[in-house]
């Protein structure tokens, strides 16, 4: 395959088509169903699916079939199937390379800089700002651009299946039913290319070696039927917030942040410790500026331990609350209830369902002062620890990284979750994984000022093309 031709095709597509399409996509408030209960009526997800599917259908890719799979009550799945291409394509026609991304988005979030906004695409230098461009709208365009470049440059690829889902930000509840509905079309997955992860800088090709799991739930404590004057009720009726705090203290040690659920912990493998130490040495720290306020100190000061804390140790966050008026609107009233949205990140090997069971038992037993306590909206997603790269894939990744970034590939564990990876790993234990992405320093996925680093995304697209060609032409047993 002519690598220079790949580079030229990819650069032309990003410059002439992809950026403009991404701007149109960013402008669509395609919230994931967890954040838009009326997503079918609002039509925003459908609009995003139509925009992306139309661009894919217009690609001059040989042997391609594009469809939108629909299941009742589920978000759509864009399914693009491409037949093997090129003289070097090996395999038996059943072996499949799956390329994965998603197009649903997180909520807008406050705090965007002046002139920026979640649904307002803005290009500033190498950055394209707006919600969803980097997480993960670019993935569909990068995957198809890589395939188109392979074919245009005289390369080869095997049987390909590009899956773009619309429920990932809600924990991918619709994905397993969609995979079941695909049936034989899924084939025997030999390689998964996932473009929904991150990078520690924009100077190297970064491979994700692990992902944390997740248990989410809403804890609610009710104390009275309606708000009462705090001068009359406080001191007798317990504060719902205090009772909620007592319950959360059963799960997390407030002084240290240590999670108190035994099932939520796992041993850190020596090779993952070594990766964290190497990454910390390369970056001279964690590689991320969190924008700490004042003199706030991190919970871990050693850079390698800090990296492990956010990739291989459990951590609890309260990411939302109900029952609390804004401070400016708060009267002297004892509130009827407090509801807290809990987000518990888990080490890669931990079974999320077991943690959810222990969490439910810990919070539900012996409620303080016999208060009315409930735990609802429980969601589970297992983490993932990457298998070793096969020799052919390790060699191909190294060659591509050196050719396009001028240095060998780098390894990192990620603190986030991608439920599909664990799902597919369980279904196809012999599959190889190339998990990577564009969420690098300051890109701020899920937060204000999210951006896509365009040159990095372009080079990553070229690397995907290289890997597709390498997979097709690798030695077969």
* Cα–Cα distance for residue pair 53/44, rounded to 1 Å: 14
At residue 114, the 3 state secondary structure works out as: coil
> Comparing 476 with 60, which gets the higher pLDDT?
60
d(CA 307, CA 287): 9
**Location of structure tokens 């190498």:** 126
The pair of structure tokens assigned to 272 is 């993952």
pLDDT digits (tens, 9 = 90+) for 91-111: 556 699 999 999 999 999 999
How confident is the model over 119-125, as a mean pLDDT? 98
Q: What is the pLDDT of residues 428-437, one digit of tens each?
A: 899 999 999 9
Pairing of strands 77-82, 64-69: antiparallel
Q: What is the pLDDT of residue 89?
A: 73
Q: Please report the pLDDT score of residue 93 as a whole number.
A: 61
pLDDT attached to residue 96:
96
Please say if the pLDDT value at position 90 is more than 80: no
Distance between CA atoms of residues 477 and 366, nearest Å: 60
pLDDT in tens, 208-255: 999 999 999 999 999 999 999 999 999 999 999 999 999 999 999 999
The CATH class of the 3-211+383-473 domain is alpha beta
Mapped onto helix, strand or coil, the DSSP state of residue 113 is coil
pLDDT for residue 91 = 59
- Predicted confidence at residue 92, as pLDDT, reads 59
300: left (phi over 0), alpha (psi -120 to 50) or beta: beta
The pLDDT value recorded for residue 285 is: 84
Segment 47-68, tens digit of pLDDT:
999 999 999 999 999 999 999 9
Specify the pLDDT at position 475. 87
pTM of the model: 0.89
For residue 433, give both structure tokens: 């994984």
Minimum mean pLDDT range among 66-75, 80-89, 198-207, 233-242: 80-89
State mean pLDDT over 397-403.
98
SS3 of 159-200: the string is EEEEEEECCHHHCCCCHHHHHHHHHHHHCEEEEEEEEEEECC
Q: What's the pLDDT score for residue 100?
A: 97
In tens, the pLDDT along 343-396 reads 999 999 999 999 999 999 999 999 999 999 999 999 999 999 999 999 999 999
The model's pLDDT over 269-284, given as tens digits with 9 standing for 90+, comes to 999 999 999 999 998 8
Q: What is the mean pLDDT of residues 144-158?
A: 98
Strands (E), 199-314: 206-211, 213-222, 228-229
DSSP string of 14-80, one letter each residue: IIIIIHHHHHHHHTS--B-GGG-TTHHHH-HHHHHHHHHHHHHHTS--TTEEEEEE--TTS--EEEE
pLDDT for residue 51? 98
Q: Which residues pair with 228 in a beta bridge?
A: 334
User: What are the structure tokens assigned to 130, written together?
Assistant: 């707006």
Q: How many CB atoms lie within 10 A of CB 291?
A: 9
* Cis check: omega of the bond before 60, within 30 degrees of 0: no
The pLDDT of residue 167 is above 80: yes
Residue 98, number of CB atoms within 10 A of its CB: 22
Phi, psi of 236 (to 5 degrees): -115, -55
Q: By percentage, how much of the chain surpasses pLDDT 90? A: 93
Helices 44-57 and 19-26 pack at an angle, to 10 degrees, of 170
What are the beta bridge partners of residue 123? Answer: 128
CATH of domain 213-265+313-381: 3.30.70.360
Q: What is the predicted pLDDT for the residue at 291?
A: 86
Q: What ranges do the domains of the chain cover?
A: 3-211+383-473, 213-265+313-381
Beta carbons of 199 and 409 less than 8 angstroms apart: no
Q: Which pLDDT score is estimated for 419? A: 87
Would you say residue 112 has pLDDT above 80? yes
């Amino acid at each position: 395959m002519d690598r220079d031709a790949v580079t030229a095709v990819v650069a032309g597509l990003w410059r002439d088509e992809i950026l403009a399409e991404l701007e149109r996509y960013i402008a669509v408030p395609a919230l994931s169903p967890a954040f838009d209960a009326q997503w079918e009526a609002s039509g925003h997800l459908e609009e995003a699916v139509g925009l992306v599917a139309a661009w894919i259908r217009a690609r001059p890719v040989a042997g391609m079939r594009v469809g939108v799979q629909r299941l009742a009550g589920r978000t759509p799945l864009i399914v693009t199937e491409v037949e093997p291409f090129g003289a070097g394509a090996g395999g038996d026609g059943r072996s499949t390379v799956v390329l994965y991304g998603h197009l649903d988005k997180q909520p807008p979030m406050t705090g965007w800089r002046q002139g920026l906004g979640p649904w307002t695409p803005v290009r500033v230098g190498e950055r394209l700002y707006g919600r969803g461009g980097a997480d993960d709208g670019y993935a569909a365009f990068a995957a198809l651009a890589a395939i188109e470049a392979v074919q245009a440059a005289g390369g080869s690829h095997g049987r390909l299946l590009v899956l773009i889902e619309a429920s990932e930000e809600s924990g991918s509840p619709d994905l397993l039913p969609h995979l079941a509905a695909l049936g034989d079309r899924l084939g025997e997955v030999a390689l998964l290319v996932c473009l929904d992860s991150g990078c520690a800088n924009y100077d190297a090709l970064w491979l994700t070696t692990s992902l944390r799991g997740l248990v989410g739930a809403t804890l609610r404590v009710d104390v009275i039927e309606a708000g009462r004057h705090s001068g009359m009720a406080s001191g007798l009726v317990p504060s719902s917030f205090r009772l909620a705090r007592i319950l959360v203290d059963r799960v997390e040690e407030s002084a240290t942040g240590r999670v108190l659920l035994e099932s939520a912990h796992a041993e850190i493998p020596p090779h993952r410790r070594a990766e964290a130490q190497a990454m910390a040495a390369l970056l001279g720290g964690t590689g991320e500026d969190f924008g700490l306020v004042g003199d706030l100190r991190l919970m871990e000061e050693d850079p390698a331990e800090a990296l492990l804390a956010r990739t291989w140790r459990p951590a609890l966050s309260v990411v939302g609350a109900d029952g609390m008026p804004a401070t400016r609107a708060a009267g002297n009233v004892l509130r009827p209830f407090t509801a807290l949205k809990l987000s518990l990140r888990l080490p890669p090997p931990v079974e999320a369902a077991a943690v959810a069971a222990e969490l439910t038992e810990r919070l539900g037993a012996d409620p303080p002062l016999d208060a009315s306590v409930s735990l609802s909206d429980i969601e589970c997603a297992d983490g993932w620890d990457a298998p070793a790269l096969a020799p052919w894939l390790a060699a191909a990744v190294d060659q591509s990284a050196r050719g396009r970034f001028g240095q060998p590939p780098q390894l990192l564990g990620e603190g986030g979750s991608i439920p599909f990876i664990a799902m597919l790993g369980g279904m196809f234990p012999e599959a190889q994984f190339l998990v990577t992405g564009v969420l690098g320093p300051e890109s701020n996925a899920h937060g204000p000022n999210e951006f896509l680093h365009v040159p990095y995304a372009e080079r990553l697209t070229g690397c995907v093309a290289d890997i597709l060609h390498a997979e097709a032409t690798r030695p077969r047993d």
